[in-house]
């Protein structure tokens, strides 16, 4: 049996394990998450990354800076990444309602290319429905 055929059979078994708990087909994001997780696992098992590196890849961001979501008063004015709250200005993504205190925090969630594309859309036509990322100001909440 060829190595490729063996790998394909093993992959089918792995996919069965990951897909079994779901009652419906996986969407694109689910598939991407599984691929990233498998890549991280394979790199760890083959010694390409350390356990600490694996842990950081699997849990890259402690959202809202580790704050208890029950204690957050206003999700619109808290940085989704570092947890700085009562923001008076920052980046906001419409539709998903995420806010960021700085470009540095925002770039932990999106790529520079995505940022540049969204800024170009906003610059070209602020009324474009794809112009969902923008810098804004909020009234102080405290």
What is the structure's pLDDT at 77? 82
Q: How far is CA 13 from CA 6, 40, 50, in A?
A: 11, 18, 26
Give CA torsion, residues 111, 115, 118, 123, to 10 deg.
-160
What is the structure's pLDDT at 69? 59
What is the structure's pLDDT at 24? 76
| Residue ranges covered by each domain of the chain | 3-58, 63-137
What is the structure's pLDDT at 113? 92
The whole model's pTM is what?
0.52
Based on its alpha-carbon atoms, the radius of gyration of the chain, rounded to whole angstroms, reads 20
What is the structure's pLDDT at 102? 93
Tell me the mean pLDDT per 10 residues along the chain, length 142.
80 73 74 81 88 70 61 74 87 85 91 91 87 85 60
Q: How far is CA 119 from CA 79, 101, 123, in A?
A: 19, 17, 6
What is the structure's pLDDT at 56? 67
What is the structure's pLDDT at 66? 66
């Amino acid at each position: 049996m060829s190595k490729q055929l063996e790998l394909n059979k093993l992959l089918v078994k792995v996919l069965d394990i990951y897909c079994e708990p779901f009652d419906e087909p996986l969407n694109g994001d689910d598939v991407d998450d599984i691929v990233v997780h498998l890549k991280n696992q394979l790199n760890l098992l083959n010694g390409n990354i350390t356990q600490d590196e694996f842990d950081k890849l699997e849990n890259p961001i402690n959202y809202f800076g580790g704050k208890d979501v029950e204690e957050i008063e206003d999700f619109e004015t808290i940085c989704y990444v570092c947890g700085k709250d009562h923001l008076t200005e920052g980046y906001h993504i419409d539709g998903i309602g995420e806010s960021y205190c700085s470009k540095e925090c925002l770039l932990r969630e999106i790529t520079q290319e995505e940022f540049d594309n969204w800024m170009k859309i906003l610059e070209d036509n602020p009324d474009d429905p794809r112009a969902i990322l923008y810098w804004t100001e909020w009234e102080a909440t405290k």
